[in-house]
A and B are shown apart, each in its own frame.
Chain A
Amino acid sequence: MSHLELDHLVQRYGEHTVVNGVSFRIETGSIACLLGPSGCGKTTLLRCIAGFEPIAGGEIRVEGELFSRPGCSLPPEKRQIGMVFQDYALFPHLTISDNIAFGLKDETPEERKTRVAGLLQTIGLDHQGNKYPHELSGGQQQRVALARALAPRPQLILLDEPFSNLDVDLRERLSVEVRDILKQEGMTAILVTHDQHEAFAMADEIGIMHGGAIQQWDTPYNLYHRPANRFVADFVGQGAFLEGTIIDEHWVEVDTGVLESQKPLACCFDASPACGPGSRVEVLVRPDDVVHDDASPLKAEVLHRAFRGAEFLYTLRLPGGAQLLSLVSSHHNHAIGEQIGIRLEIDDIVCFPVQATLSPP
């Protein structure tokens, strides 16, 4: 039995449908992430799971027990679902220890003390339990919020954009740290974020949300390398698209030549039956698929470059006018306007039918 199960969940605000038929399952001990641009409905979905919002359609079940359906909702305080809020929502009038102990109602004073001391140690704030939230840094407050949510040993823990108020360095360090703590406590968790680095660092599985629906539910690796549709391909990672024509299951012809895929062409054949030999498609080209090679006969003009320390991210223009991104070791320092030799090295080709807007209705 899945730990958490959403079945065709729908949520509306008036006429506006925010969550539109979302279904997924999460197994015990897994860390899942809802990743999507702002306004895609991911925070609303999280609030529905927490019980802060009644739902308009579908069901939410935890361990097989019904938590929400239209017209009937178990109140949040009875769900045993912990939540870490975007602004942490620590209680400013209570000390750190009292904040963490807040949800421990049925324990004896001894048990509370032990649990709080244990968690303070886990989050690296031992002996600081007597401080007040405003005396801590943002990162420390974040960890206290996590400890407070973990303390009552909830069935599930929800994290709403937990790192968005922190600077980038801290964000990366803390996301790894939080993942370790969650795994150590054996916690099932759902994280909501718009930051894919955060999602990749934290999650075992990720649901890409757009327009109130899950576009793809998969591992981080598959989302990047086997995106299910054009939106996912665009949203996850960087890349460019080259137009081409399908020759057969393994071959695509593009402006720069013919490309071979080791696996049968992804997406195209599964997603669109109309797509077969002779169809016009867009081939996804990731920056690491474009290899710098001075000997290559294929030349491209440098349009833009972004220095990233170890590498440059070049925006290139092919002779035909199409643009590509290329990740090149920063020893290869090329000026804007320069022509450089490149080679396309794509192991598994991902392509999508040319978007419907281009063809007559």
Chain B
Amino acid sequence: MYEFDWSSIPGALPFLAKGMLVSLEIMVAAVVIGIVWGTLLAMMRLSSIKPLSWFAAGYVNTFRAIPLVMVLLWFFLIVPHLLEQLLGVPRGTDMRLGSAIAGFALFEAAYYSEIIRAGIQSVSKGQMAAASALGMNYWQSMRLVVLPQAFRNMVPLLLTQGIILFQDTSLVYVSALADFFGTASKVGDRDGRLVEMLLFAGAVYFVLCFSASQLVRFYQKRLKTA
């Protein structure tokens, strides 16, 4: 019978906290960039200008058809080279965090754009017409009338996608970046207590994500009754 020994965990907490900070950093940055880029993609997809619509459709279908872990690996391998060549960044600079954020953001944008597209389409066309009859051009109508309503309806879906993204941040282990999961596994290895450390890390992910989903569900209920 395996003997559990949790004694190494308290000492590892400062490292784990640092790792958690990295995970959260990736998540927040990827969610923000992903939503902005996803909104633009959704608007392109709905645009009457055909090439824009085709580009957005191609982008979304491509990113939804390849595994996230591959996208992360490509960015880990390619982005430093690109920056080196384009901006003359010195060789060997640690860009793993930037690469990871870029990979997540571009990947998630594909998913966000589909959520946002549905959200924009859920706002009745009459709203756009009403705004233009009041003197607003396309961009003003979008910004002041359509998007605020679309986002209000979409908040639960966007948050849920954010929670999934938070879990997926653990995939940065492919670039040996010290996020929460990576740190846990490294510290566990070092102390020879990998099983305990990973169980603990799993419990932390569960508590965070489960309570976040409960909050989303609560918010969703309130939105429905409002």
The yes or no answer to B93 lying at the interface (CB within 8 A) is no
Which of A35-43, A82-90, A297-305, A340-348 is found at the contact surface with chain B? A82-90
Among B129-187, those with CB < 8 Å from A are 129-137, 144-145, 148-149, 152
User: Residues of A contacting B8 with CB < 8 Å?
Assistant: none
Residue in B126, B132, B144, B145 whose beta carbon sits within 8 Å of that of A77 in the complex: B132
| Residues in chain A near residue B121, CB distance under 8 A | none
Q: Are A89 and B135 in contact (CB under 8 A)?
A: no
Residues of B within 8 A of A78 (CB): 135
Q: Are A83 and B130 in contact (CB under 8 A)?
A: yes
The answer to whether B62 has its CB under 8 Å from any CB of chain A is no
A89 B124 Cβ-Cβ under 8 A: yes
A77 in contact with B135 given A89-B124, A89-B129, A91-B127 (CB within 8 Å): yes
Q: Which of A77, A89, A152 contacts B137 (CB 8 A)?
A: A77
CA of A75 to CA of B131 in the docked complex: distance in angstroms? 12
* Complex-state Cα separation, A246 to B133, whole angstroms: 53
Which A80-106 residues sit within 8 Å CB-CB of chain B?
Answer: 80-83, 85, 87, 89-93, 102-103, 105
Interface residues contributed by chain A, number (CB under 8 Å): 23
Determine which of A76, A91, A148 lies in contact with B129 in the assembled complex, contact meaning CB atoms within 8 Å: A76
A91 and B132 form a contact (CB under 8 A): no
| Given A89-B124, A92-B149, A93-B149: A80 and B130 interface contact (C-beta under 8 Å) | no
* Chain A 148-160 interface mask (CB, 8 Å, partner B; 1/0): 1100100000000
A-B contact count (CB 8 A): 56
Closest Cβ of chain B to A8, distance in Å, is 25
- Complex Cα distance, B149 from A91, in Å, reads 9
A→B interface (CB under 8 Å) = 50, 52, 75-78, 80-83, 85, 87, 89-93, 102-103, 105, 148-149, 152
Q: Can you list 30 residue pairs at the A/B interface with Cβ under 8 Å?
A: A50-B129, A50-B133, A75-B132, A75-B137, A76-B129, A76-B132, A76-B133, A77-B132, A77-B133, A77-B134, A77-B137, A80-B135, A82-B134, A83-B129, A83-B130, A85-B126, A85-B129, A89-B127, A89-B130, A90-B130, A91-B127, A91-B131, A93-B149, A102-B131, A102-B134, A102-B144, A103-B135, A105-B135, A149-B133, A152-B134
Known: A83-B129, A102-B131. 12 other contacts (CB 8 A): A75-B137, A77-B136, A82-B134, A85-B130, A87-B126, A91-B149, A102-B134, A103-B134, A103-B136, A105-B135, A152-B134, A152-B135
Q: Which residues of B contact A (CB under 8 A)?
A: 124, 126-127, 129-137, 144-145, 148-149, 152
Instruction: Give 7 nearest A-B pairs by CB, closest first.
Output: A103-B134, A89-B130, A89-B126, A83-B133, A76-B132, A77-B132, A77-B135
